[in-house]
Chains A and B, each alone.
Chain A
Amino acid sequence: MTRLDLEGLGFAQGAHILVERALRGLPPGDRLHVVGHDPALAVHLRGWCRSRGHVFSADQHGSLVSPGPAERQRWAGAERAGGPRPDGIVRRPPPHWGLAARGALVEAGGPTPVGFDIADRDVVWADLAPRLYAHAAAAQWDPAVAVDWSAATELPEDIEAAVVQVMTYLVENEQAALVIPARLLARIHPHFREVQQLLAVQAADEARHIEVFSRRALLTGSELGTSSAGGRASLTSLLFEADFSLASFLLSVLGEGAFLALLAFLDEHAPDPVTRQVTRLARVDEARHVAFGVAHLEHQAALDPTLRGRLRAAVERRHDALVDTAGLNADVYDALVVLAAGEWTPAAIARGYAAVQRLQAAMDDGRRQRLERLGFPPDEAAELSALHTRNFM
């Protein structure tokens, strides 16, 4: 018989922890002899044993406990939810693993959550995801200190108005870029936690972009620019793409890809240091978003030969849906020309106009390169790039 002396420790102070530990270490068939001098020990031990399915008895020497089978039975049908590291990811994690940590020992039974419908490694995963997440987490910046807000300079009224218009447009686009990954990440099976983490940080990135672009827009005034129906139609068409790969393709590869060129353009032509800083900070984040989109679609394209056909159809569908809309807000286009021109002379406007045309060519060039990385032949990449929304995003 094994003896456990609880000394003065009672069940109201955690005595069950020592009893459970001693029962776990008990040889088969053995009984635990529990002694101690808490006055309520025998009463509480009896009640506790009953609730745990252990057999309690008392004799002249004290209390005896024979362990019951309940704890062993509880874990009899348990299974590991894959392995904790990326090499322990399974192709299709079952829905009943639910919120369990990847690699945890999952008790059988319990709820089967609905809604984690993005649950195929080949659809959601990219080997780059853990590294991108680590990079994203390390690269988080504080809008209050990362931008030198005191560096604001007084701009001519109509140049400032052009900046405000561009910022208004950027905020609208970032709203879409926040909502889309946030919606998707809530549908991803928690087994693919690195992808969820990455999309969560991506949404947080967009939250900061919305903040800094809004703050820049209101730096000297109190009114924002315009939001066109056509621009919103283009962005809204992104919200309704339910397929993870297609949504990620349209938003990250094509939309945010084009945005990289736009933010570089604004960095180059910013009329003031605050505009330059906010667009530069946002660009670093957006580059990461594009990298994940491309990486996971590259991964998927290698496994699924039908993917490219579906990507192509998604671009065509969106083009058809938007063909009768105006596309880019004309106020935004003109504001970009004015920013690149820098002054109100015919020669400067011509320079600015040419610069915006070069920006569009750069966007097209980037889109074609990324499409080719996904395996589209150059002519098809050029054709698809041409179908991309006039609204850039």
Chain B
Amino acid sequence: MIRGSSYRSIPAKYKDMADEIKMLKVTIDNITIEVPQGTTILQAARQIGGEVAPPAMCFYTKLKGSGGKCRTCLVEVSKGSEADPRPMPKLVASCRTGVMDGMEVKNITSGKVTDARSGVVEFLLLNHPLDCPVCDQAGECHLQDLSYSHGKEGTRYEFTRRTFEKHDLGPYIQLHMTRCILCYRCVFVADQVTGKRVHGVLSRGDHAEIATHIEQSLDNEFIGNVIDVCPVGALTDKTFRFKNRVWFTKPVDAHRDCTSCKGKVTLWQRGDEVLRVTGRKDQWGEVEDWICNTCRFEKKHVSDWVIDGPAKIDRHSVISQGHYTGLDKPKETFSAVHGGRAPKLLMDIHSVSEVNRPGIALSEIQGPATSDTFNIDQQA
């Protein structure tokens, strides 16, 4: 009876809501779609997909308040709306700008956007150590992808790169601040997923850094998610550190009964060994569910898990170029995928990936690290 009565009221309520949610027309790079009111330009562009979706380094759908900072998703609004067709005077952050009815947006069809974006990439890489050869994030690094897709070759920066002192964040998480692009995602995770934050952004301007101020370990049961949201190699999994390159590992989706999270993960295997556990990521690199530390760091046996099948990996990703089985391997070569451009950074990774040397302090190396950096013995 109770169920029955509530059933009657709910559809009516939904009907009201459906009336309230207006559908808006938006045209992005000449493709028109309809989206519900409250949708951002970025979300609308992701619905269209492909190259129309602007890159996003700081926005993360699940994290409230994220976005607006990295400026990679800037787009040109050439028509504000049907009601007010004036173009917006400046490029806007698509992740934080709501769609208006009749809005017209230019992303890759705007020279202004591609020019500004290549500028942003240059800024983001300005003080980045480019130590991809020894970075665990290599191969799944959003900054690496962004540089290939939107950057220019080489840098015009000729000064000593900024470095930071190392901070220890406890047994599971490695912080390599020099690689950080200050997206603030890990700060939002700590606030919104763990409820208690012990790390944050200290100092300001070009000295701003992610840190704990006094050395402290991050040990909340959900803090491991900061690793999954980090777009670069600033926060990496210590239990996976220098174990292998991601493209030599095989990702499979798996689950287990977990009392603190849904237990739905991706296992990164080599043979029968589980080298790493992460959340399952969608095509935009965002996790489907947050996972707990126990699942992430402590369940490293295949027997801990029920395997669901191979994880979906973008075939353009370097990961699917590797020893990946279970999906069709792309037939084209890596350089063909990248429009004939030689994968400058990745070449080095391949040549040195077997000789990773955790002992080399990258912060002491002038300029970007190259394979030579790791062959010091042979030079001497």
**Binding between chains A and B:** no
